[in-house]
Homo-oligomer: A and B are copies of this chain.
Amino acid sequence: MPRQIRLNAFDMNCVVHQSPGLWTHPSCRADQYHTLGYWTDLARTLERGLFDAIFLADVLGIYDVYRGGPEAALERAIQVPVNDPMMLVPAMAAVTRDLGFGITGTLSYEHPYTFARRISTLDHLTEGRMGWNIVTGYLNSAAKGVGMARQVGHDTRYDIADDYMQVVYKLWEGSWEDGAVLRDRASGRFADPARIHRIAHDGPYFQLEAIHLCEPSPQRTPVLFQAGASTRGRQFAAEHAECVFINGPSMRVVAPLVADIRARAAAAGRDPAAITIFTMMTVITDSTAEAAREKYAAYRAYASEIGGLTLMSGWTGVDFSTLPPDEPIGFSRRDAQTSALEAFTTADPTRQWTPREIGAHAAIGGRSPVLVGSPTEIADALQAWVAETDVDGFNLAYVVTPGTFTDMIDLVIPELQRRGAYKTAYAPGTFREKLQGPGQARLPASHPAARFRIRS
C-alpha cells in the first residue's frame, strides 16, 4: 500500500501570497480576499478535494527591505493589505464539516490569556478542527506597529515562545478537568467548581493568575503547527509541534531536514513518526504535459519580477534592488539571515542566479519548488518526494486561486487515489484524530503539554 499523501492548501488573507503579479490573471480571484464568499467557496472546494486543512500564513508588518521602503510591496499588494486570518475560520467552518484549519498566530503581540480564549473559541465553533501555526514574527515593521524599536533577537523570541507555550498549555490542559462540566439542567449545576483550577504562572516573560475562561474544547490544545527553519526553530518544533511545515528546493535538501526533525522529536521522547511534516510545493498541471507547460508559460506572463524580489528581500534581509540585475550574485557574502537564498543555490549548486532570475522565479510559488506536468507526472513527482524525503505531504501554494487548487482536485488527486496514495474519504473526528487516528482528539501523554494536566 503506497504511503498516503497529506495536503494543505497554503493561503493567506491577502491579495498576493506567493505569486506576485498573478492576481491580475483573468482567472484569479485573489483580490476578493476581503469578502466572505471568496473563503466559503474556497473551503467548499478544498473539502471536495479532501484536503486535510487550509493553512493560513500571516504577517503583521510590511515587506519594506526592497528599495528600503514599503512602496514596492504596497503597489503590487505583496502580502499587504493583509487581514486577520482567524476571522475566516468561523465562516469556513459553517460551510464544511471535515476541513481542518491551520491558522498562523504570532505570539509576540498578544497576551497568552486572551489568545488562549480565541483559540478555544475557534476549537469549539469548528468542533475540534482548529490548528495553530506558532510564529514568533520576523518583520521589524511589525514590531514597530506595536511600539517597539525593532524585532527582539531571534533566540530571545524562542525563549519568549517557550514561556508562552507554558502558559497556554496550563490554560488549555490544566484549568478545567475532564468532567468539570456537568450541564445538568435538573440540578442547575453547569459545572463543578472543585474541578476547575486557577492557573498560576510566574515566568520570565509572562505572569498570570487566572482560570481559563473557556470550558474544554474538543481538542483542548489545538493541533500545533510550526515552521521554524533555524536550528533553534527546529528544536522548538521537535518539542512542541505536531505538524511541521518546511521548505526546500530539492529532495536532497529536504530529506536531511526531515530526518533532523524526526531525530530531535525522538530525542525529546516523542514518536517521530507521529510528527506530520509538510513541505511547500507549487503544482501547475493540465490534461497533458504540453498543456501544463503552456499554462506555466501563460502564468509567467503575469508574474512580477519586482514583486518576487520584494518578497525575497523581506525574507533574506538583502535589498536586491541594490544589486546589478543581470549579474550573478556572489553568495559567499551571505549571512545567516539569507537562508532563503538557498532555494536558488542548493537545488543546483552549479547554477549562477541573477537578481532578475531570482525575481522571476520567486514570482511563481515563492521559494517553493514548482512542479509542471501532466497529472501522471505530478503524481509521480509527489510520490517520489514522499519516498525520498520522508515528508508526509505538501503545503500547496497557489499560482492562481482557486484554479491551482481545482486543477489539483480535478486532475491529480484522482490519479493519486487510483494509486491508493490519497484518501477517498475523511477520517472521522477532530483534526487531531484525522491525523493521528480515532481516540486521539487530545495530545498524547508524551507531549510536553500533558504534564500540566490534572490527575484526578
Interface residue ranges, A against B (CB under 8 Å) = 13, 15-16, 21, 23-24, 26, 31, 34-36, 40, 60-62, 70-71, 74-77, 80-84, 86-91, 93-95, 109-111, 113-114, 117-118, 120-122, 124-125, 127, 141, 144-147, 183, 185-186, 188-193, 196, 198, 206-211, 213-215, 217, 304
Q: List 28 A-B contacts (CB under 8 A).
A: A23-B185, A24-B186, A24-B188, A26-B185, A34-B124, A35-B127, A36-B94, A60-B113, A61-B210, A61-B213, A74-B193, A74-B196, A75-B192, A75-B193, A77-B190, A80-B211, A82-B214, A83-B117, A84-B121, A86-B118, A87-B89, A91-B125, A94-B95, A110-B111, A111-B147, A113-B145, A113-B146, A188-B304
Which 7 pairs across A and B sit closest by C-beta, in order of nearness?
Answer: A77-B190, A147-B207, A145-B210, A71-B193, A90-B91, A83-B121, A34-B124
Partner of A211, one of B62, B93, B125, B196: B62
| A190: nearest chain-B partner, CB-CB | B77
**Contact status of A121 and B91, CB under 8 A, knowing A191-B74, A211-B62:** no
- Count identical subunits in the complex: 2
Cβ of B146 and Cβ of A75 under 8 Å apart?
no
CB neighbours (8 Å) of A121 from chain B are 13, 34, 83-84, 87
Instruction: Report how far A21 CA is from B15 CA in the complex, Å.
Output: 48
Cβ of B145 and Cβ of A75 under 8 Å apart?
no
| A15: nearest chain-B partner, CB-CB | B190
Instruction: Report how far A221 CA is from B125 CA in the complex, Å.
Output: 27
CB neighbours (8 Å) of A80 from chain B are 211, 213
Cβ of A111 and Cβ of B114 under 8 Å apart?
no
Cβ of A124 and Cβ of B83 under 8 Å apart?
yes
